[in-house]
Amino acid sequence: VFINTNLGRMYRWLDKPDSAIVHFRRSLVRDTSQHRLSYEIGSIYLAKKNYWAAIPYFEKLTNRLSKYPDVPDILAVCYDMTGQERYK
């Protein structure tokens, strides 16, 4: 888990978002309690303006708003950009 997480961070730092996503997903599959990885993946998709892909990762964090207070605003942008209704 930690190897893929660290590789994901390294690839993100190297501005290789697609490789970062691959490694973050591998870590997330092995340990679903790594909520930060959902935020990281969602943020990468948001930066790439792939709002459809970002939504499910940010939706996973709606029950953790004390740690991720910006998630409702991010989701509002994603929903707006995709024409979806907010907070289904």
Percent of the chain exceeding pLDDT 70 equals 97
What angle (nearest 5°) sits at the alpha carbon of residue 52, between those of residues 29 and 59?
55
Taking the chain (88 residues) in runs of 10, the rounded mean pLDDT of each run is: 93 98 96 95 98 97 95 96 77
